[in-house]
Structure 1
Amino acid sequence: MELDLSDQPEIVQQAYGYAVQAYELALSWLLSPAAWSQFALLVAAYLLAVLITRRLRPALARVIDPGDKENILTAPRRFVLQFLPLLLPLLAYVLTGVGEGIVRSIFDSGSVIAFGKRVFLFMAARALVRDIITDPFLKLLGRYALMPIMALYALGLLEVVNTLLSETVVGVGNIRFSLITVVRGIIFGSLLFWLGQWSNTQTSALIEKNQELRPSIRQLSIKVVEFLIFGVAFILLMNIMGINLSALAILGGAIGVGLGFGLQKIASNFISGVILLLEGQATVGDFVSLDGGEEGTIVKMTARAVILETFDGRWIVVPNEDFIITRVVNYSDSGSANRYEAPFSVSYDTDINLVPDIIEKAVAQHPEVLDDPYPPDCELRGFGDSGIDFAVEFWVNGLDDGPNKYTSDVLFLIWNALKDADIEIPYPQRVVEIKGGLPQSSP
């Protein structure tokens, strides 16, 4: 029975036409001996694949599984092992292909066989998404992109949908593009940039393991590889979407104007970051202090800024430009030692000629205090109001007042050494003179 849909939208008429074609195809299959024989072949191929898989899969798992052994083939064997769920649908596909030639030679028809092979490929894609892929993003992409595409392919509608999307053109301003371009861009763009992120992570880990390179060179290499990977991904995506790269020249000009005005600070910080990585005067792990008062350990260097971590756990984001145009003190460059001093005072009753030797010997006992470049040096600094002022200078590898408390430890050593030598540490003293004498009390 045919329906009159002339007053309906074109898409409804097309859907009705496809439904009629599917009905006529199914009816022809149900009434055709050739179709029934092909259905029988598909069922036989699938059942045979099930029997073979039940015996073959455990044997393959025992052969491929490396167990606890660690060698050069361990990682490849574990990678191959995870694809065993594909054995059943692919084996059914192969067995169906073997019998397809026989059926076509007898009945000169193989449409049902072709449909069955597409169904087996759909089953393989389903097993891939459900049992093999573990990455959350790839599983999401497989569920909402690969599975619908394979379902359309199994039903023989992929070309129809592709043509429909190609003919549907949308426009934004003066730009016009087809829906298939949008779909292709979303799918391949997501896949390319995930692959770029994965490649960047693996490459960064490989570069970080190379301790022969300076930290600054490692950071620069990581950034260069990152830009190259995502640059190539962007160019591939433009080609996949069919966008002429020469059309990006106008966009590049607009970006250039933007950099000259609103984005000049971003461009300045980016270029400053490249200079920092090339010179290597400050790198991750260094403790630095800037003229603006910011100080801390560099924990990360990005394209725009350097992140410092203070001793109290706070993070400070400092633009790269500040490291170029202001004075920076690096306390950790090349692992050099740092000098600190601990001030103290002794009483005026003390023989000050004995103090330097006592203090220098006491401070030298600290396990972190160095003899090179200079041993501890006790110096007379002045004569104060309450006592004689001294200070001991000492060198250590590391920074004080963070995880290390060098000055505190040295002051403890000074206190104990002075106590053992019976040298008094004075209290604040003042001499008060009352002119005219004390007032006389009345009787």
Structure 2
Amino acid sequence: MDNPPDIVVMALGYAEQAKTLAIDWATSPAAWSQFALLVLSWLLSLAVSRRFGARLSALIGPKEGARGPVAAVRRFALRFLPLLLPLLAYGFTAVGEAITRSVFGSGAVIAFGKRVFLFVAARAFARDVLTDPFLRLLGRYVLVPLAALNALGLLDPAMAWLEAQMVELGNIRFSLAALIRGLIAGSLLFWLGSWSNRQSAVYIKAQQELRPATRELAAKAAEVIIFGAAFLLLLSIMGIDLTTIAVLGGALGVGIGLGLQQIAANFISGIILLIEGQTTVGDYVELDGGETGTIVKMTARACVLETFDGRWIVVPNDHFITTRVVNYSDQGSANRYEVPFSVSYDTDINLVPDLIVRAVEALPFVLKTPEGPDCELKGFGESGVDFAVEYWVNGIDDGRNKYASQVLFAIWNALKAEGIEIPYPHRVVELKGRMPT
């Protein structure tokens, strides 16, 4: 190949240097003594870790069934025991390096060994210590390769080459190394932000003395602060001047004004809903279009309603501001319902109200305050006399709580027990003239 790429030339150069270095080490007494010290350090570390590893595990580990923050910290510390062997080897090697440099005036081999032990520690950290799937993936494909490059002495040249490769996006200019650092740091920051957001949300929602709307607002505010800080920190790590974001902010403002105004309206409406607290998670609502359900989730863009049959309805937040919404629940407030029924015209209707009131108020879920059951005469229908019983319950008849069904059963049983007939449609047909023969 007449004109090989620069990276091939660089690789061939490093391969030649490695060959020369290997030959020098193979023929040098000082190198052999350093190799011996490396082996001795590893064997000594192996013996110490086997002798004291179990004792250290028993000392650090909490008692079986122990709970609380102290036990959690001790269990967390216990996960780092796989690093004991390579870190001990690194420490013993550092001592051996000091001896070697004082005797032979060189320590290249033993310094290489130290880096190899660091590689072994990084591999054990990614394989045995990290339990989160994302962090384990990051450790396997980022930490371990970096440790391998460091062990081979190629980390600094690789970083210098990446720093020399520039990326330009309009007025923004940064190196390939900065881009890689940004991707790695961004992954870690947003993973940490997600973890912090989950922990803060759990803590805030556990504060029962706060109103549900206040808890939701505090959780959303914490989420915005956490991810906003992570974004600004990421820009700083990548070396991007924050003043250049002003252009992006202006373009984003125009986009919101033209094409994203509905999203902005929903976001602002969500903040208004959380601040006012008139509609919050757990409320049973009826929308202007007739949809009913319980609010199970409130996001920055929409509220999620769950119907009694398990379906989820996603409703934009601005619907709760600009249209009529009936809120049937206010964290356990009482609600009144009405059940109609009819009796035959042959019935003494003066007996019906007291009979039905006694039957309905005997039901355990029917309230006596703010008002007990009330049976009223509604009119005289085509087939019977129409009545309706009104009653109060502490909850919502939403399909899960079938209050009306139980009230109808009570009415049926009470009327049947008294021999009162529940009518069905009748028709009287008159035939005029002579019957055909």
In structure 1, how many angstroms separate the alpha carbons of the residues matched to 2:179 and 2:296? 40
One-letter code of the match for 2:413? N
Secondary structure of the corresponding residue to residue 349 of structure 2: coil
Secondary structure of the corresponding residue to residue 324 of structure 1: helix
Match of 2:9 in 1: 13
Match of 2:366 in 1: 369
Report if the CA contact (8 A) 1:149-1:158 is conserved. Answer: yes
Match of 2:75 in 1: 78
Across the aligned residues of Structure 1 and Structure 2, the Cα RMSD in angstroms comes to 1.6
Report if the CA contact (8 A) 1:288-1:328 is conserved. Answer: yes
Q: For structure 1, which runs of at least 5 residues remain unmatched after alignment? A: none
Deviation at 1:158, TM superposition (A): 0.4
Match of 1:231 in 2: 228
Deviation at 1:71, TM superposition (A): 4.3
Match of 2:197 in 1: 200
- 2:238 corresponds, among 237, 241, 249, to 241
Match of 1:391 in 2: 388
- 2:182 corresponds, among 177, 180, 185, to 185
Q: Does 1:162 align with 2:135?
A: no
Match of 1:261 in 2: 258
Q: For structure 2, which runs of at least 5 residues remain unmatched after alignment? A: none
Report if the CA contact (8 A) 1:6-1:13 is conserved. Answer: no
Q: Does 1:215 align with 2:212?
A: yes
Deviation at 1:185, TM superposition (A): 1.5
Match of 1:356 in 2: 353
Q: Does 1:38 align with 2:37?
A: no
Q: Which moved more, 1:28-37 or 1:230-239?
A: 28-37
Deviation at 1:401, TM superposition (A): 4.4
Q: 1:304–1:71: structure 2 CA closer, same or farther, 3 Å change rule?
A: closer
In structure 1, how many angstroms separate the alpha carbons of the residues matched to 2:133 and 2:73? 22
Q: 1:10–1:420: structure 2 CA closer, same or farther, 3 Å change rule?
A: closer
Q: Does 1:313 align with 2:310?
A: yes
Report if the CA contact (8 A) 2:172-2:240 is conserved. Answer: no
Secondary structure of the corresponding residue to residue 369 of structure 2: coil
In structure 1, how many angstroms separate the alpha carbons of the residues matched to 2:302 and 2:66? 45
Q: Which moved more, 1:264-273 or 1:193-202?
A: 193-202
TM-score when scaled to structure 2? 0.96
One-letter code of the match for 2:187? S
Match of 2:320 in 1: 323
- 1:138 corresponds, among 135, 140, 144, to 135
Deviation at 1:6, TM superposition (A): 7.2
Q: Does 1:299 align with 2:299?
A: no
Report if the CA contact (8 A) 2:86-2:117 is conserved. Answer: yes
Q: Does 1:333 align with 2:323?
A: no
Match of 1:59 in 2: 55
Q: Which moved more, 1:171-180 or 1:340-349?
A: 171-180
Provide, for residues 109-163 of structure 1, a one-character-per-residue CA deviation record: whole Å limited to 9, x for no partner: 1221211111111110000111111111111111111111010011111000000
Secondary structure of the corresponding residue to residue 333 of structure 1: coil
In structure 2, how many angstroms separate the alpha carbons of the residues matched to 1:180 and 1:440? 105
- 1:50 corresponds, among 7, 25, 46, to 46
Secondary structure of the corresponding residue to residue 421 of structure 2: coil
Report % sequence identity: 64
Provide, for residues 343-380 of structure 1, a one-character-per-residue CA deviation record: whole Å limited to 9, x for no partner: 11112222222111110000011111111111000001
One-letter code of the match for 2:328? Y
What is the total number of aligned residue pairs between the two structures?
Answer: 436
In structure 1, how many angstroms separate the alpha carbons of the residues matched to 2:46 and 2:189? 36
In structure 1, how many angstroms separate the alpha carbons of the residues matched to 2:66 and 2:247? 57
Report if the CA contact (8 A) 2:338-2:390 is conserved. Answer: yes
Q: Which moved more, 1:385-394 or 1:26-35?
A: 26-35
Secondary structure of the corresponding residue to residue 341 of structure 1: strand
